[in-house]
Amino acid sequence: MAFLHRQSPFCVFVIALTFLVLLTSPASSLDCSSQKFANNLYANCTDLPTLKSSLHWIYISKTSSLSIAFIAPPPKPDGWIAWAINPTQTGMAGSQALIAFKDANGSMTVKKYNISSYSSIVEGEISFEVPESRAEYSGGSMKIFATVKLPETMTEVNHVWQVGGLVTEGRPTKHEFQPANLKAVGKLHLKLAEKEQNNSTTAGSPIVSPISSPSPSTSSASCNTKMYVYFMLIIGALISN
């Protein structure tokens, strides 16, 4: 008994830790029906087939803008989530990504990445105008809210999503290569939704958050170069594994 008694603080610690992990582990269900937004901003929602994620969205044809709320649990609280449009093909290569993660002071940030190939992931400008973007973290999941202006002729969108567990020095690093990660691609049909939205008075962006998002950092050319080198190193490390 003395032995047990001596051990009990440790046991209590382990049990407490277990509860903590259970409490803070990513919510198992982030499907469309479980998520509500003020004013029902997003008429459409798609339960994404992988990574426990969902995409709430609305396409306003008048302004050819797509507003989205992408919700996913990162593998770790300090990880990242990403949602991207690929204007030229399906999959990651060529995609124009929005990646959300906690920046140095702990507040959520959204940055834009031009992923022109697996070896070139550059923070900075992407081929779409993004008038608004912000991110939230709560209950183990991250949310990206963004409005993207699309070419008027675009009727469907190849999109890609992803999660990763690590951000190093303000840079999201490699994600897992499990089937769920690799199958995270899909297509949105915008014009199906358009009919219903034609009468919508929600011109422009439906994002009406009182929370002002931190303005995305304007990265210098040298920063982009560093990013490039950095990701090259990661890709190199991945390949050599």
Please give the residue ranges that form the binding site for ligand NAG (CB under 6 A): 43-44, 103, 105, 107, 114, 116, 120, 125-127, 189, 192-196, 198-199, 214
Q: How far is CA 10 from CA 23, 46, 59, in A?
A: 20, 45, 54
Q: How far is the CB of 194 from ligand NAG (least distance, A)?
A: 6
SS3 category, 23: helix
**Toward ligand NAG, which CB reaches closer, 22 or 104?**
104
H/E stretch holding 60 reads strand 54-60
Residues 146/68, Cβ–Cβ less than 8 Å:
yes
Please say which residue, 35 or 116, places its beta carbon nearer to ligand NAG: 116
Q: CA 142, CA 89: separation in Å to the nearest integer? A: 26
Q: Are 167 and 80 in contact (CB under 8 A)?
A: yes
31 or 176: whose CB is closer to ligand NAG? 31
Contact 102, 78 (CB under 8 A): yes
Give the tokens for residue 141. 């999941």
How far apart are CB 190 and ligand NAG at their closest, in Å? 7
Smallest gap from residue 199 Cβ to ligand NAG (A): 4
Residue with tokens 């009990």: 8
Q: Which is nearer to ligand NAG, 26 or 121 (CB)?
A: 121
Nearer Cβ to ligand NAG, position 75 or 130? 130
Closest distance of CB 16 from ligand NAG, Å: 29
